[in-house]
Amino acid sequence: MTLLLEHLAAGERLVGDGAMGTMLFERGLAPGEPPESVTLSQPAVLEEIARLYVEAGADIVETNTFGGSPLKLALHGLETRAESLNRDAVRRARVGAAGRAHVVGSCGPCGRLLEPYGDTSTETAYASFHQQMAYLIEAGVDAICVETMTDLAEATLAIQAARDISSTIPILATMTFDATPRGYFTIMGVTVAAAAAGLEQAGATVVGSNCGTGIEDMVAIAREFRNHTHLPIIVQPNAGLPKMVDGRTVYDETPDFMADRATELLAIGVSIIGGCCGTTPHHIAALRGTVDRRPQPLPATE
């Protein structure tokens, strides 16, 4: 398979996968149960989810390791299983992808506030991220995705941990922004401009945003990223904002709605478009259609 960065360097537009948690909840994951536990209890489900996203047209599928750092797993008493949970998740994603998509190792926040806002030192957080990155990279992921970050310092530690293990592996890095009267900020006060600069300086090769908002806000966020970086951009919106209906969390942005607005993301120059909370293979199939209808760049000539 062509390396991920070769696709991006050629100007191709790639389709990411959709939500992992949404798919797991549909398959019986209980509220409060860590998604990573499915790797132990129902590993075949991870193969199924990867396969469904690839069949929907995803060029990229992520591993079920969002909370796979030892610090985050410790919140559920699973820290001693960190190695097997990360390695097995990579293996299951590879089986499901069957060589038809890039397998990307997911890494989310460590679940602790860093000093001086919390009681976790940067050294402790870095060591935890480094351990997870080692498992993912040794297991053979095609890239790392540091995602759903709100603290630029924490995102930087995760990126540096991956980069210290591999100087060449592609690192996708995304932060989560909220709309405010003054613009878009993470809950830790990070602007899009600061995120773009900080993620690139830390060693990311693709930057952008995921989660937190639906696709309409993501268009504005992507435009800001384009104004502040020359790196490829990745965008993974929710299927709208969550609502409680009859005791269930639902998202109301339809696949067709997301696919229609994705044309604006492509016009801005976003390189990877996928989905986050609430998105399913139906959303990814619709995004695939939008990307395929947009002319791809002509091959370079001598």
At residue 105, the pLDDT reads 98
Residue range 224-282, pLDDT digits in tens: 999 999 999 999 999 998 888 877 788 999 999 999 999 999 999 999 999 999 999 99
**Arithmetic mean of pLDDT, 204-218:** 97
pLDDT mean over 213-226: 97
CB-based contacts of 75, cutoff 8 Å, min separation 6? 34, 111
From 132, 123, 121, select the one nearest 79 (Cα to Cα): 132
Cα torsion 194, 198, 201, 203 to 10°: value is -140
Q: Tokens 């791809």 label which residue?
A: 296
Side chain identity at residue 70, one-letter code: P
Tokens 């994603």 identify what position? Answer: 93
Query: For 57, phi and psi rounded to 5 degrees?
Result: 115, 10
Answer whether residue 301 shows pLDDT above 70: no
Is the pLDDT assigned to residue 111 strictly greater than 70? yes
Q: Three-class SS of residue 124?
A: helix
Does pLDDT of 297 surpass 70? no
Whether the per-residue pLDDT at 59 is higher than 70: the answer is: yes
Q: How confident is the model at residue 2 (pLDDT cuts 50, 70, 90)?
A: low
What does pLDDT average to over the chain?
A: 95
pLDDT at 299: 46
- Indicate if the pLDDT at residue 202 is higher than 80: yes
Is the separation of the CB atoms in 255 and 282 below 8 Å? yes
- Domains, the chain, ordered by start: 4-293 (3.20.20.330)
Position 245 scores a pLDDT of: 84
**pTM, 2 dp:** 0.95
Mapping DSSP onto H, E and C, the string for 162-222 reads HHHHCCCCCEEEEECCEEECCEEECCCCCEHHHHHHHHHHHCCCEEEEECCCCHHHHHHHH
Q: Which residues pair with 52 in a beta bridge?
A: none
296 closest CA partner among 8, 58, 2, 101:
8
Q: Is the pLDDT of residue 150 over 50?
A: yes
